[in-house]
């Protein structure tokens, strides 16, 4: 029997969160996230690469990536965007596929927020899980290290975009 999703008080314990200040305006962070070519540069934690990325950044739009390890192992991801508020918020999930069809093995929903900050943009990514087992699995897979590397790669790309805009 599968455990039911915990949506009540205290469900935040099922979340994994990472964040940092990026020294650039929110519009550049947004661009790095929503332009289909840019996630190829930061989505997979090095030394993995992202040779394929399909984004349709609108509610219901698809989100597909393929991460490839140096040994050739591949890790596909897919889902849809649920909400996009320009320069402020991106919500996506692997619980649904194109056409809002339920996914076979839903794992998490992510909420990315971009908040104005003195130093540029406060970037926060939160992965919401349906139960303790999925949260623990994601943490053991290296959530903090992997998403931390990706966040550093994203920040580096944003700084390149910032330099090019000057």
pLDDT tens for each residue of 98-150: 999 999 999 999 999 999 999 899 999 999 999 999 999 999 999 999 999 99
2: confidence class by pLDDT, cuts 50, 70, 90: very low
Q: What pLDDT, on a 0 to 100 scale, did the predictor assign at position 54?
A: 95
- 3-state SS, one letter per residue, for 20-82: EEECCCHHHHHHHHHCCCCHHHHCCCCCCEEEEEEECCCCCCEEEEEEECCCCCEEEEEEEEE
Using DSSP, how many helices (H) and how many strands (E) does the chain show? 4, 9
Residue 9 has pLDDT above 70, yes or no: no
In which region does residue 22 sit, left (phi positive, over 0), alpha (psi from -120 to 50) or beta (all else)? beta
pLDDT of residue 1: 35
Among the four given CATH numbers 3.40.50.300, 2.40.50.140, 3.30.530.20, 3.30.1540.10, the one describing domain 17-165:
3.30.530.20
To the question of pTM greater than 0.85 for the whole model, the response is yes
Contact yes or no for 41/159 (Cβ under 8 A): no
Q: Is 108 helix (H, G, I), strand (E, B) or coil?
A: coil
- What is the reported pLDDT for 11? 80
Using a 10 angstrom Cβ sphere, with 0-12 exposed, 13-18 middle and 19 or more buried, the burial of residue 122 is middle
Element (H, E) at 113: strand 109-117
CA nearest neighbour of 86 among 9, 34, 158, 137: 34
pLDDT tier, 19 (very low <50, low <70, confident <90, very high otherwise) = very high
């Amino acid at each position: 029997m599968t455990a039911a999703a915990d949506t009540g008080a205290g469900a935040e314990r099922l979340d994994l969160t990472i964040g940092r200040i990026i020294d650039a305006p929110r519009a550049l962070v947004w661009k790095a996230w929503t332009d289909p070519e840019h996630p190829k540069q930061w989505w997979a934690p090095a030394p993995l690469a992202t040779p394929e990325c399909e984004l349709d950044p609108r509610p219901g739009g698809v989100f597909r990536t393929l991460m490839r390890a140096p040994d050739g192992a591949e890790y596909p991801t897919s889902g849809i965007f649920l909400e996009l508020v320009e320069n402020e918020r991106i919500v996506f999930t692997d619980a649904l596929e194109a056409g809002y069809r339920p996914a076979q093995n839903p794992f998490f929903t992510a909420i990315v927020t971009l908040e104005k900050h003195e130093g540029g943009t406060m970037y926060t990514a939160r992965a919401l899980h349906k139960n303790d087992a999925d949260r623990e699995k994601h943490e053991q897979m290296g959530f903090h290290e992997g998403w931390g590397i990706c966040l550093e790669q994203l920040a580096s790309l944003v700084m390149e975009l910032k330099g090019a805009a000057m």
